[in-house]
Structure 1
Amino acid sequence: MSEPVLSVRGLVKRYGERTVLDGVDLDVREHEVVVLIGSSGSGKSTLLRCVDLLEELDDGQVLLDGRDVSDPRVDADVARRAMGVVFQAFNLFPHMSVLDNVTLASRVVHGVPREQAERRARELLTRVGLAEHATAYPDRLSGGQQQRVAIARALAHEPRLLLLDEITSALDPELVGEVLALVRELAGQGRTILMATHEMGFARQVADRVCFLDGGKLVESGPPEQVLGDPVHERTRQFLRRVIDAGRL
């Protein structure tokens, strides 16, 4: 079996006396979609931030294609270039056009010539259905459109791994579907994705594997039909009962 694109080993993250991640082990293989589920505060977002090296690890390792990128001797910026990340907030620069937002990292961080970066950006904007908005500014777009721009920006440098952190949580309900449809399309194209979501129905449709986090521990992991349909652990069952009561499954 090939080396995982991402391996997390014994990951521990603390904030003061509070342990947010407690010895998490996780692999994501090439072309695999792994979905993190769990209550707010379970550690999903912190795990993604640790993978992207935005948080300092208290213990454990993050390996990308077998290389320990969490080693302090490794240049974190170089490691991050292999990852694309989209957060809950769109984080678009309001004073820049859509096109400039998508090309900025390619030009400034990766040194791609402007013409080449803009050609790639226009291809991506066409793919996410926003080609006609290339010269628009973010405040002229809906929330769903802004999030699609953020996804295009994350894809601009062809990352090995795409990290998606609750990317629909800040959207109005009617805009959630258009963003999830784009993620479904990316998954169908074979992208390697690690994402956190509260959308259980979507997780069931798109995930190769679902991982349930609770109290900073990875409690259960497996195919969506098993974890969401016939979970082994009582804590997973309790969580899913609440989700069903809330109408999210």
Structure 2
Amino acid sequence: MSTTDGAATAGAVDAADGGPVLRMEAVRKTYGRGRSVVLRDVDLAVAPHSVTVLIGASGSGKSTLLRCANLLEEIDDGAIFLDGEEITDPRVDADAVRRRIGVVFQAYNLFPHMSVLDNVTLAPRRVHGVPRAEAEERAGALLARLGLDGRAGEYPDRLSGGQQQRVAIARALAGRPRLLLLDEITAALDPELVGEVLTVVRDLKEEGMTMVIATHEMGFAREVADQVCFLEGGVVLERGAPERVFGAPEHARTRQFLQRITEAGRL
């Protein structure tokens, strides 16, 4: 793996209480008969209560990295750790691991035949064994906090895209995850709805939620990230604090990517 700021990142993680929440070591992932390499020896450490933002062009490996972190994709080599436990050990219960990780994708993936309240309480009741009354009380508090008070009885098709994405975030938070993974959560939204979803993520950062976010919203990435990782061809080419990666990138390919983003008016 290539990196230009590994020492600084390692220092930040070592200083965190309890070590990294998520750690990837030399993770490799291939697809297809030709075994196309999608992730190449990726190392990553995410400190508690921090936000790591993944940037890079489409196809650079950001989404695959998140899917591997949640064990939705099986890695070909390397290891992934959650709170120091190797979750890629084949003896580990993958479902138990996923109960500790919340995931929000760009497609809301809400159940259309279920109300907002039922969408949010389904996993706590069925997966975590939370009593219905407690699950509904927790869901009501989450919905109110995310600006969805009064929407519990609605069905997804009666909500705007921004509201549906906020329901998806509430659903991910309902299980009280140790780690939250967000994959291009504004990509399917109309521009005027992007802001309301990003505001929710800002609030989660302020509350200390540990997050890994893949996004094309560079201004937002610069604002919320503690660590920025630029991926190219499945490799983390550059990583560091947002002010350095965005303000003084050291790798030529990072500079080229950010230049294109700037010219497109997205930075």
Shift in Å, 1:32 = 0.4
TM-score with structure 2 setting the length: 0.93
- Which 5+ residue runs of structure 1 have no aligned equivalent? none
Deviations 1:34-63 (A, max 9, x none): 000000000000000000000011011110
| Residue 245 of structure 1 pairs with residue 259 of structure 2 | no
Provide the rounded CA distance (Å) in 1 between the counterparts of 2:178 and 2:61.
Answer: 23
1:11-160 alignment, distance < 5 Å: 11-16=27-32, 17-160=35-178
TM-superposed deviation, 1:87 = 0.4
Q: Match of 1:184?
A: 202
Q: Unaligned stretches of 5+ in structure 2?
A: 1-13
Secondary structure at the aligned position of 1:131 is classed as: coil
User: How far apart are 1:232 and its partner, in Å?
Assistant: 0.6
The CA deviation at 1:245 is: 1.0
Q: Distance in 1 between matches of 2:263 and 2:187?
A: 19
Structure 1 residue ranges (4+ consecutive) displaced by more than 6 angstroms after TM superposition? none
SS in 2 for 1:63: strand
- Please tell me whether residue 162 in structure 1 is matched to residue 177 in structure 2: no
Q: Secondary structure at the match of 1:134?
A: coil
Which amino acid letter does the alignment assign opposite residue 149 of structure 1? V
Shift of 1:145: 0.2
Query: What is the Cα deviation at residue 191 of structure 1?
Result: 0.5
Q: Which amino acid aligns with 1:88?
A: Q
Does 2:11 match 1:6? no
Report the RMSD for the aligned CA atoms in angstroms: 0.6
Instruction: Give the distance between the partners of 2:116 and 2:216, measured in 1 at CA.
Output: 28
Secondary structure class of the residue paired with 2:247: coil
Tell me the SS of whatever aligns to 2:150: helix
Distance in 2 (CA, whole Å) between partners of 1:36 and 1:198 is 9
Q: The residue matched to 1:7 in structure 2 has which SS?
A: strand
Q: What SS class does the counterpart of residue 176 from structure 2 fall into? A: coil
